[in-house]
Amino acid sequence: MGALWDPFLDNLFMQRALAAGLLVAIACGIVGTFVVLRGLAFLGDALAHGVLPGIATALVLGASSLAGAAVGAAVMVGGVTLVTRRSRLSADTAIGLLFVGMLALGVVIVSRQASFAGDLTNVLFGEILGTSNGDILVQLVATVGVGLVSALCARAFLLLSISPEQAQVAGFRAGLYHGVMLTLVAVTVVVSFTTVGTLLVFGMLLAPAATGALVARGVATMVGVAVTGGIASVVAGLLVSYHLDLAAGASVVLVTVAIFFTVFAVQALRGGARVSHVGHRH
Amino acid sequence: MGAVSCRGLAVGYGRDAIVQGLDLDIAPGTWLSVVGTNGSGKSTLLKTLVGLIPPVAGKVTALGAEPGDSPRRTAYLAQSREGGFLLPLRSRDLVRMGRYSVRGLLGRMRPDDDAACRRAMEALDVLDLAHLPLGRLSGGQEQRVHLAQALAREADLIVLDEPTSGLDAASRARYREVIRAECRRGAAVVAATHDVGEAAAADLVLLLAHRVVALGPPSEALTAANLLETFGVVISELPEGLLVMEPTHQHHEIDP
């Protein structure tokens, strides 16, 4: 049994990775729930990739990568808001092009660096085993903030999930709360990228919440399942990575995605009403 | 003071008016049925009345103020809603959301909120579905639960966009009783429909076809000539009432 806790007891880097990972799991579980409920998965993906040029520019300039990511996210939120309001194309097309463009721009900027491949890998997949106390502190502040704002806005977010128009008539300004929700996603992505990377943070945002949607009958339960599943994935992923010498961030995300598909498969095999219903109603 | 008042109102998107020149007064306790085909301007008018879109021209007041200024006293049921089947909510949770505008972001729900939700669910015969997840409901059941959410607000102005779509004949009859009860309570109800039979049960009927075809009590507004102008295809009179044929070949019978 020592194999389960010795890695954490014996290694400071594993303790820091665990602390950062748990905070990422909590923030992503809360924000991811609203991303799934509102059907913003693609937009969340775009935001996660949109921070790349900001981080890359910060790398080239020797500035704080966190500040660079924040600028990148702000540009992406602004861009997404603009194209979804003004474009005659479907939002999917506009957001898709925006995020591929930002991804390419990020890679182009990073390619100016001598340590191109290493830097890019760190940005895309994170350095959970290289987490510093400063990273953990930033993540802690962000997770508490995300939790408080989500609790404060929960009713507005729920109404938005049913119908932005009905939310507006009920006195909850749809544009304002949509903006708050996008900001929460952006903040979560920005502070989580050092831990799990811009590519993998999307998995942490989506998979635990999607698992919650499969099994929960209430939004509070869904958040609970998402957070618990995320935490379990972090612990299991880190252990698998430690013992088998695998990439840590990717192992964590792989576990959380595996949990989703396992629950999905079990429900499908049982012929669960919920799964069959989802399949029938488009 | 009227619940809704419009003078020279033009509704539409941006500068493009879909319907214009609308003069309308709806008193408290009145049921107005807005009738027309798809694209005739019904939904646009309803959205203007609840403040979702500004009028293109003219004046409109709702509950004595600008539309949208009285969220606690206004209930609105949109025609289309987003992915309800994905929401891990039970029916009663959805109905309770109707009380959020009364309690705000953080106000504690009180016993009178629960009582209002219970009354709305009883009225629409969905009390026995209270504990079922939304994903388990049929289309008609889900529509009744959404209607219950709108009624749980106990609003003074209730605006419903095609509230009976997906409802069977028994549920439609029950819906009419429920709306009548809301009017007796003093609420003004504006409901869009292309069901002429439903419109015949209202106090006032507004026929729209990109313009105001007729406005008045059903006996005056629902004439063969007006319905021909509204629906545009064929109308034949039958001994038991009018039979209106729409381009989509839907049939609506009404009492003469």
Residues A238-248 have pLDDT tens digits of 999 999 999 88
Answer yes or no: do A169 and B100 touch at CB < 8 A.
no
- Domain annotation covers residue A165: yes
pLDDT digits (tens, 9 = 90+) for A252-268: 999 999 999 999 999 88
Answer yes or no: do A277 and B97 touch at CB < 8 A.
no
Answer yes or no: do B135 and A274 touch at CB < 8 A.
yes
Choice among A205-214, A235-244, B225-234 with the minimum mean pLDDT: B225-234
- Domain annotation covers residue A1: no
Answer yes or no: do B133 and A36 touch at CB < 8 A.
no
When CB atoms are compared, the residue of B81, B93, B136 closest to A163 is B81
Q: Which residue has the tokens 């419009």?
A: B6
Read off the CATH number of the domain in which A132 is found: 1.10.3470.10
pTM here?
0.87
ipTM entry: 0.86
Q: Which domain holds residue A41?
A: 17-276
How large is the angle between the packed helices A116-125 and A52-61, nearest 10 degrees? 140
Q: What domain count does chain A have?
A: 1
Q: Which of B53, B77, B89 to mutate to test the interface with A (most CBs of A within 10 A)?
A: B89
Answer yes or no: do B74 and A281 touch at CB < 8 A.
no
B244 beta partners:
B235, B252
When CB atoms are compared, the residue of B52, B80, B106 closest to A168 is B52
Q: Which of B46, B97, B159 to mutate to test the interface with A (most CBs of A within 10 A)?
A: B97
Domain boundaries of chain B, sorted by first residue: 75-155
| pLDDT for residue B225 | 84
Three-class SS of residue B38? coil
| pLDDT for residue A238 | 93
Contacts of A172 in chain B (CB under 8 A): 100-101, 105
Token pair for residue A174?
Answer: 């749809």
Q: How far A29 CA sits from the closest chain B CA (Å)?
A: 15
Please state the rounded mean pLDDT for residues A28-32.
95
Query: Alpha-carbon torsion A117, A119, A121, A127, what sign?
Result: positive
- Domain annotation covers residue A57: yes
Residue A204's contacts (CB-CB under 8 Å, 6 or more residues apart) are A24, A25, A28, A32, A192, A196, A230, A233, A252, A253, A256
